[in-house]
Structure 1
Amino acid sequence: MTQPDEGALNAMIGATVKGLREKSGLSMRELARRSGVSQPFLSQIERGVSAPSMITTYRLADALDVLPGALLPAPPASRVSVIRAGEGRSIPVANRADAAAGRALVMQPGNPLEVIDYRIEPGQYISEWFELPGELAVYLISGVLDVEISGHPTVRLEPGDLVSHPADLPHRWLLVDDEPAHALLAIAHPGEGAALRAPSHS
């Protein structure tokens, strides 16, 4: 599957965000207020100057009452989708230079299923708190990862382990032993508006 270059992709995402905002009758200022994304940064996204991080993508989707995949370009029309090694949109977890990036394998308009491939290196920021309606599962391929789930004991994952839980429980990941980790995250969104958001205590 041929993918557009980074600049073209950012421009498409920006145009999509702007179109959804205008369709919702929201000013840029109001969308910034609802999403918690600063208005200057939102302007950069809409103009294709900056790319939204994972947390920003989810905050904007939540404020616009759409699934996160609605902000990304639609794939070619087909009931069968194949993502080859190295393909998939790379999206950093947060808007910071040291943030780990996930490769969105499944994150498409209208699709409630989301699958993200994370390869986390020591020193990369991964500990952003998230919560969302729906269900999620984390499968660890390599390394060691602690999964903190609000109100529950920390779950330590080793290769071959999987943890699943209601995604509306605030949760985050922590790298263990300063070693790389490789994990797959699967999210089942219940429908439109089911976007990730940062919990109030994060």
Structure 2
Amino acid sequence: MNGTGESVRDLLAANLRRARAERGLSLSELSRRSMIGKATLSQLEAGAGNPTIETVFSLSRALELPITDLLDHRQPAGMTVVRADEVEVLSGEAVDLRPLRRIETEDAIFEVYDQQVRPGGRQSSLGHVGVEHTIVQAGRLRVEVDGGSAELGPGDCVAFDAVLPHAYTAVEGPVRSVLLLQYRPGNRLDLDSGHSGAE
């Protein structure tokens, strides 16, 4: 996604340090908000950690930032081509994400990901800022959102407020899908709403 040869680890390190400094947060306070150990945060900021989907989403929630603010830097104008073999995969318990593009307008910020859900696992989230859209391209996907569930096949789409607890499970697969995260400029999660916690 970054097109400069920098790794996810390097970009996260630089962006995490910047975001924490801009907010005047100590490592201890960010650790409390994200529920990530202080030693792990220190490693991430030094570029020595091994970030997972769960870690990045927890930091996104704690810092109230779109994920791409942590994993990318601004794209140049003109045509952008993203090659599958040039994008570093961010993996979680059951999902592999390849960040493809960040799109900004006056009214919204969008992040586009190639998302693969591996069979035999369940990817859970306690919630994060934004609206989540998933379009299934291959396989069958069960999506659970705040106690409800739906099963999706190729061509089906689901959208929901991502602050709600949610989970993905490959019912038949692996599942190949497009994940689109949508944020309003200045989108913030109300950390007092009861939806805070680790991914």
TM-score tier after normalising by the smaller chain length: 0.7 to 0.9
8 A contact 2:133–2:158 mirrored in 1 = yes
What residue is the counterpart of 1:13 in the other structure?
A: 12
Measured after TM superposition, the shift of residue 82 of structure 1 is 2.9
What residue is the counterpart of 2:116 in the other structure?
A: 119
What residue is the counterpart of 2:95 in the other structure?
A: 100
**What pairs up with 1:26-175 in 2 under 5 angstroms?**
26-78=25-77, 80-93=79-92, 99-107=94-102, 112-123=109-120, 125-152=121-148, 154-175=149-170
Of 30-39 and 60-69, the range deviating more from structure 2:
60-69
8 A contact 2:27–2:41 mirrored in 1 = yes
Deviation per CA, 1:99-156: give whole Å up to 9, x if none: 4321111247997201111123334x4421242343222111111111111143x211
8 A contact 1:131–1:199 mirrored in 2 = yes
Instruction: Report the secondary structure of 1:180's partner residue.
Output: strand
| Unpaired segments ≥5 residues, structure 1 | none
Measured after TM superposition, the shift of residue 25 of structure 1 is 1.5
After superposition, the Cα gap between the structure-2 partners of 1:132 and 1:100, relative to the gap in structure 1 and judged at 3 Å, is closer
8 A contact 2:35–2:197 mirrored in 1 = no
Instruction: Report the secondary structure of 2:123's partner residue.
Output: coil
**Whole-angstrom distance in 1 between the partners of 2:38 and 2:18:** 16
After superposition, the Cα gap between the structure-2 partners of 1:90 and 1:192, relative to the gap in structure 1 and judged at 3 Å, is farther
The two structures have a TM-score, normalised by structure 1, of: 0.79
Letter matched to residue 162 of structure 2:
A
Measured after TM superposition, the shift of residue 194 of structure 1 is 4.1
Letter matched to residue 160 of structure 1:
G
8 A contact 1:74–1:108 mirrored in 2 = no
What residue is the counterpart of 2:5 in the other structure?
A: 4
The two structures have a TM-score, normalised by structure 2, of: 0.80
What residue is the counterpart of 2:179 in the other structure?
A: 185
Instruction: Report the secondary structure of 1:176's partner residue.
Output: strand
After superposition, the Cα gap between the structure-2 partners of 1:55 and 1:169, relative to the gap in structure 1 and judged at 3 Å, is same
**Whole-angstrom distance in 1 between the partners of 2:174 and 2:92:** 16
RMSD: 2.9
Measured after TM superposition, the shift of residue 34 of structure 1 is 1.2
Sequence identity, in percent? 27
Higher strand share: 2
**Whole-angstrom distance in 1 between the partners of 2:6 and 2:81:** 19
After superposition, the Cα gap between the structure-2 partners of 1:49 and 1:109, relative to the gap in structure 1 and judged at 3 Å, is farther
Measured after TM superposition, the shift of residue 80 of structure 1 is 4.6
